[in-house]
Amino acid sequence: MLEIGMTAPDFTLCDQHGNTVSLHDFLGKRIVLYFYPKDNTPGCTRQACAFAGAYQAFKDNDIVVIGVSKDSVASHQKFAEKYELPFILLSDPERKAIEPYGVWQEKKMCGKTSMGVVRTTYIIGEDGRITHVMPKVKPDTNAADVLAALGK
């Protein structure tokens, strides 16, 4: 897992519209970069809808919200349309961002151990450095917790 003060690893991935998006495109803006396991699952849907519900507060403060999972561009497009998600969703099936950010970890569920994305949020400052690390966030409160951390 990355730490506060570290330079956020750059990456280039496709968004829900098939457009190429790079982290460095947002230098000079604050970024909320949240990693989640899977589109259309209960926790991930609640988390995305919470960010959508709070989106105006992020937009008003010139803060970019980006969600990342291993899902395909097509899956992200359907997810974003179904729940009217107004922010960027990036597809990372090859774990180009997931692994550098340290969120690909061993998980235990129902007595089984497997590798997967651990729900984690990073806040990145205008200078590209990590200002906050929020591991194992709660889907329902993640957006509000981020706004509180940013003093909004």
Q: Which residues are catalytic?
A: 44
Beta bridge partners of 35: 68, 120
Q: How many CB atoms lie within 10 A of CB 48?
A: 27
**Residue 41, amino acid:** T
Contacts of 42 (CB under 8 A, 6+ apart): none
* 23 vs 27: CA distance, rounded Å: 8
φ/ψ of residue 89, rounded to 5: -115, 125
Say which residue the tokens 């280039």 belong to: 12
Beta strand pairing status for 30-35 and 63-69?
parallel
CB 45 within 8 A of CB 83: yes
